[in-house]
Amino acid sequence: MTVFAYRNGILHAEDAALTAIADAVGTPFYCYSTAALRANWAAFAGAFAGQDVGVCYAVKANSNLAVIRTFAEQGAGADVVSEGEMRRALAAGVPPERIVFSGVGKTRDEMRAALSAGIFQLNVESIPELEALSEVASGMGVTADIAFRVNPDVDAKTHAKIATGKKENKFGIDYDHARDVYARAAALPGVRPVAIAVHIGSQLTDLAPFRAAFLRVADLLHVLRTDGHDIRRLDLGGGLGIRYKDEALPSPADYAAMVTSITGNLGCHVTLEPGRTLVGNAGVLVARTIYVKQGLHRQFLIVDAAMNDLIRPALYDSYHGIRPVVEAASDATTVPMDVVGPVCESGDTFALQRPLPPMAAGDLVAFDSAGAYGAVMSSGYNTRPLIPEVMVNGADFAVIRPRPRIEDILAAERMPGWL
């Protein structure tokens, strides 16, 4: 990722030195690059140029309003999984007719909000959800365009916690029930089944599972059309992976060619919902070394970021590159270090025995590829304030979510009358 590169020995985000941002906002913080966001968008959306394809950015990967707006400016729609995300997308300037609402447990209130906003499509994942939506929409006197998310029973070959397309996963309707479910929907008021949706998981590094799932969707499309349903759209989800370490990845062009080879002659509008691939490598997490601790057999680099700020290593055993912000001398020897945060959990470990140049208290480190599923999954565990998010654009940078004050965190809570 060339936008996060050393210049004169200092790691920069575009033309902004991470040391300068750290001085201005304190540590830890997330830092996103506008140029990287735009380049990722251009690579992905550009691969589908001229086709009847809508790209709906999966907001859950990074839902900061400034990130959503950066994509909205380029013509992005949004894939949302809650009313909160839908309102973020609308507030960031995504037109409602480019918003898809996904998720296995939409409440009636969320359905009402989506129908009032007039979004493009709701992706329904069960019969009870279908019945609820039918009631809500008919009660409002509207008809909702819907897809069913089908579960194609395909192994995405990714981490178990982010695989969603096997029949034992909670997502979607079983492929073998799809005909019955579409028939049921066609008989209900307030809903119009116009699409088939699929999303088999995240951080896929191989096209084969996508291809298998999309072929099943194409087969189903023919069956449903034969049954008399007017299916005009396919929603093929997200899931394309990024390079965290040394993964070999299909390019957006390879991915697009695979999609087009399957959908090109189906006469359908295609929606895609990329998240990670648009934001993952466009962000870093910057932390400061608090202590270097020499254990009996290992050295610990204790930094001021923790699992509550970036949970991916603890949750998914994921790998993030770790670089000193001030470049080490080219002849510096490396030492294996356990990079850990201050939270009272052994799981608060970013890396084990990672070779790093000699580090000292006060030194800054950057965790690479932290733009997706980083800030959005953070929590206030250990009463650690959510860390700021910063967006860089050339030499400019702006705080796009400030660090809350501890006073405000405490002030948000209430004592019951008896205390």
Ligand X SMILES: *Cc1c(COP(=O)(O)O)cnc(C)c1O
Active-site choice (31, 56, 268, 344): 344
Catalytic status, residue 31: no
Rounded-to-integer distance, Cα 340 and Cα 329, Å: 24
- Residue 146's closest CA among 161, 127, 163? 127
Whether the upstream peptide bond of residue 96 has omega within 30° of 0, thus cis, is no
| Closest approach of ligand X to the CB of residue 149, in Å | 7
Number of shown-chain residues binding ligand X (CB under 6 A)? 16
Rounded-to-integer distance, Cα 144 and Cα 273, Å: 20
Among 275, 313, 374, 388, binds ligand X (CB under 6 A): 275
| C-alpha count within 13 angstroms, C-beta hemisphere, residue 228 | 6
Rounded-to-integer distance, Cα 239 and Cα 361, Å: 38
E strand intervals along 22-179 = 29-33, 53-58, 77-80, 99-101, 121-124, 144-151, 173-174
Per the structure block, which two tokens stand in for 108?
A: 């009636």
Residue 312 binding ligand X, by CB under 6 A: no
| x-or-dash string of contact with ligand X, 57-96, rule CB under 6 A | -x-xx-----------------x-----------------
Residue reference for tokens 């982010």: 162
Beta-sheet pairing, 191-197 with 144-151: parallel
Among 216, 276, 320, 384, binds ligand X (CB under 6 A): 276
Q: Rule CB under 6 A: which of 157-186 touch ligand X?
A: none
Residue 374 binding ligand X, by CB under 6 A: no
| Closest approach of ligand X to the CB of residue 237, in Å | 4
Q: Rule CB under 6 A: which of 39-58 touch ligand X?
A: 58
| Closest approach of ligand X to the CB of residue 60, in Å | 5
Per the structure block, which two tokens stand in for 229?
A: 């349903």
Q: Which is nearer to ligand X, 276 or 312 (CB)?
A: 276
Among 274, 283, 324, 371, binds ligand X (CB under 6 A): 274
Judged by CB under 6 A, the stretch of 205-213, 272-280, 324-332, 343-351 that binds ligand X is: 272-280
E strand intervals along 182-298 = 191-197, 233-235, 269-272, 283-294
Among 121, 134, 202, 378, binds ligand X (CB under 6 A): 202
Rounded-to-integer distance, Cα 260 and Cα 227, Å: 25
| Closest approach of ligand X to the CB of residue 56, in Å | 8
Residue 193 binding ligand X, by CB under 6 A: no
| Closest approach of ligand X to the CB of residue 331, in Å | 40
| x-or-dash string of contact with ligand X, 237-266, rule CB under 6 A | xxxx--------------------------
- Identity of residue 100: V
Q: Which is nearer to ligand X, 144 or 359 (CB)?
A: 144
Neighbouring-strand partners of residue 336 = 355
> SS3 breakdown of the chain: % helix, strand, coil, rounded to 5?
35, 25, 40
Residues that bind ligand X (CB under 6 A): 58, 60-61, 79, 102, 199, 202, 237-240, 273-277
Catalytic residues: 344
